[in-house]
Amino acid sequence: MTNQITAKYYHHMGDDITTVNAARVSFAKQSKLVCTDLIQGTYDLDKRDKKLINYLAKHKHLSPFNHASVTFVCKAPIFVARQLVKHEYMPWNEVSRRYVSDNIEFYRPDVWRGQASDKKQGSAGEVDAIYSSNYGSPYFPNDFADRHNKSCLHIYQCMIDSGVCEEQARMVLPQNTMTEWYWTGTLGAIAKMCNLRCKPDTQYETRLIADQISDKMTELFPVSWAALMEEKDQ
């Protein structure tokens, strides 16, 4: 189910002013946040600093964006994790089935999508039933998936109980097995990932992770994130 796929905020370092001052250090200058409401105790960048951030993003002067960082704890099926792990400069530490053999969970989609007819990658519409010559009547996709998951889990557990090492026994688990990882990136690196993975043509399950991360980045770095994510709306 889609609520199985999560990207939860863990911690962060820096804010919009971090990017500003990383850029202004070239001129031995430094900016400070401006108080916008003394009673509420709220602060914001001044117009000059906001303009600088937009300039940096527009002209691809991206190094100042790499002095702030965020860590997320993500959970998704293996086939999603293997798409995301390819992104550069984002350290990744994952649960290892070499050491952990319990708490196995399988991803179960809310909807089974059909293959898109106009491209090799992508999906369109829904598939309500699966037809097979081995069965007299159509099966619902989740019935097939649930049967497969139970079979794989049974085989895996039998192998573990028989003394097969965990690092080999794990090979019988399907790609919809859930995995969990810590994922850290700089503001710039995460923006690069989200500019790619938040697009409408990205696989839906992968986009769930990217969208959750993007929402949190908007909260943590409102000015920088808006500037870096301009490509998303083009």
CA distances from 123 to 81, 200, 203 (A): 19, 11, 8
Indicate whether 193 pLDDT > 90: yes
Q: Is the pLDDT of residue 192 over 60?
A: yes
The pair phi, psi for residue 137, each rounded to 5°, is -135, 160
Q: Which CATH architecture has domain 2-76+88-94+180-233?
A: 2-Layer Sandwich (3.30)
Q: Which of 171, 193, 177 is nearest to 91 (CA)?
A: 193
In the prediction, which pLDDT does 123 show?
A: 86
pLDDT of residue 133: 64
* Span 197-217, average pLDDT: 96
C-alpha closest to that of 178 among 82, 72, 71:
82
Domain ranges of the chain: 2-76+88-94+180-233, 113-172
Give SS3 for 34.
Answer: strand
The answer to whether 212 and 193 are in contact (CB under 8 A) is no
Neighbours of 53 (CB within 10 A): 24
Active site residues per annotation: 197
SS3 call for 1: coil
User: Tokens 């001044």, residue?
Assistant: 46
Q: In the chain, pLDDT over 90 holds for what percent of residues?
A: 71
- Which residue stretches of the chain are H helix? 16-24, 47-58, 78-84, 141-161, 166-169, 187-197, 204-220, 222-228
- Mean per-residue pLDDT over the chain, rounded: 90
Query: What pLDDT does 141 receive?
Result: 82
Q: Is this structure's pTM higher than 0.85? A: yes
* Residue 145 pLDDT exceeds 60: yes
C-alpha closest to that of 103 among 4, 205, 6, 178:
178
Check whether 170 has a pLDDT greater than 90.
yes
